[in-house]
Structure 1
Amino acid sequence: MADLTQDPGFWMERAAGASAGAALSLVYMLPRGTREAAARFATGLIAGVVFGGPAGVWLAQRMGVAGSLSPSEVMLTGAAGVSVSAWWGLGLIERLAKRWGRGRGEPS
Structure 2
Amino acid sequence: MADFSNDGGLWASRAFGASAGAAVSLIYLLPKSGREAASRFFSGLSCGLIFGGPTGIWLAERLGIADRLSASEVMLSGSAAASLCAWWVLGVLARVARQWK
TM-score of the superposed pair, with normalisation by structure 2: 0.91
| Equivalence for 2:37 | 37
Q: Is the 8 A contact 2:10 2:71 kept in 1?
A: no
Query: Which structure shows the higher helix fraction?
Result: 2
Which runs of structure 1 show a deviation greater than 3 angstroms over 4 or more consecutive aligned residues? none
Q: Percent sequence identity over matched residues? A: 56
Q: How far 1:89 moved relative to its partner?
A: 0.3
CA-to-aligned-CA distance 1:48-89 (integer Å, 9 cap, x gap):
011100110010000101111111111000000000111100
What is the correspondence of 1:64-83 to structure 2 with a 5 Å cutoff?
64-83=64-83
Number of residue pairs matched? 98
Structure 2: state its 5+ residue gaps. Answer: none
81-90 vs 91-100, which deviates more? 91-100
Q: Is the 8 A contact 2:22 2:83 kept in 1?
A: yes
Structure 1: state its 5+ residue gaps. Answer: 102-108
Q: Please tell me whether Structure 1 or Structure 2 has the larger radius of gyration of its CA atoms.
A: 1
TM-score of the superposed pair, with normalisation by structure 1: 0.85
Q: CA RMSD in A?
A: 1.4
Amino acid at match of 1:49: L
